[in-house]
Amino acid sequence: MNTVSTEEKRPTGQIIWETMVGLANEERSITRQVLRDVTGLSFTIIDDHVERLVTRGKIVKAGKGLIQVVPLYPTERPQSLTVLPSGLVKFEIGDQYIELTPPEARRHALLFAGFARQFEEISGSNKALIRTGELSNWMGEIHQEVLAIKRDLGVS
């Protein structure tokens, strides 16, 4: 009996691009190591597709191994939130504004609470990734020093 999979295999380029966009939307650091960890693809395949995306202008290399997705959104507009003496809350974005009553402002605050929580998680995750990279480099240096000491002592 033959079974045919109904699930289509996505091209690796699409997998890498969608992974990058997802990480960028979550404000996560994008490196080839992160892409390998998330997708399970080899560095060779990732590097090939990264170069193609750079050539197409979809991403840029930001230095120190970081990759940035070229923004897909319009440029960010100035924003402000002001509590007026009457208790109304004036929310301005660019040239537009809306005045909210205190109950409306509280409802919007509840809606934005999820974004605030996500921002904290992303920030913590990015700090952890940076620290992990630093520790990994440090451990590599220590390993090299231990090997040199063993060599000097004639220990294998």
Q: What's the pLDDT tens digit per position in 93-125?
A: 999 999 999 999 999 999 889 888 888 887 787
Residues 20/25/28/34 CA torsion (nearest 10 deg): -20
**Is residue 6 domain-resident?**
no
154 touches 62 (CB < 8 A): no
Q: Write down the residue that tokens 């090299």 correspond to.
A: 144
Q: Which residues pair with 69 in a beta bridge?
A: 59
Q: What percent of the chain is predicted at pLDDT more than 90?
A: 56
Q: Tell me, what CATH number does 63's domain have?
A: 1.10.10.10
Question: How high is the pLDDT of residue 154?
Answer: 87
**Average confidence (pLDDT) over 121-136:** 79
Burial pattern 126-145, b for ≥16 Cβ within 10 A else e, equals eeeeeeeeeeeeeeeeeeee
Number of domains making up the chain: 2
Give pLDDT, residue 8.
64
In a domain, 35, yes or no: yes
pLDDT, mean of residues 149-155:
89
15-30 pLDDT, tens digit per residue, is 999 999 999 988 888 9
Average pLDDT over residues 24-41: 90
Q: Based on the domain organization, do 62 and 105 belong to the same domain?
A: no
Residue 155 pLDDT > 90, yes or no?
A: no
* Residues 86, 137 within the same domain: yes
56 belongs to a structural domain: yes
Instruction: Give yes or no: residues 88 and 143 share one domain.
Output: yes
Kindly state whether residues 88 and 62 are assigned to the same domain. no
Say if residue 84 is in the same domain as residue 149: yes
> Structural domain of residue 44, as residue ranges?
12-69
Q: Kindly state the average pLDDT of the residues 35-54.
A: 94
Answer whether residue 74 is part of any domain. Answer: no
pTM of the model: 0.50
In a domain, 20, yes or no: yes
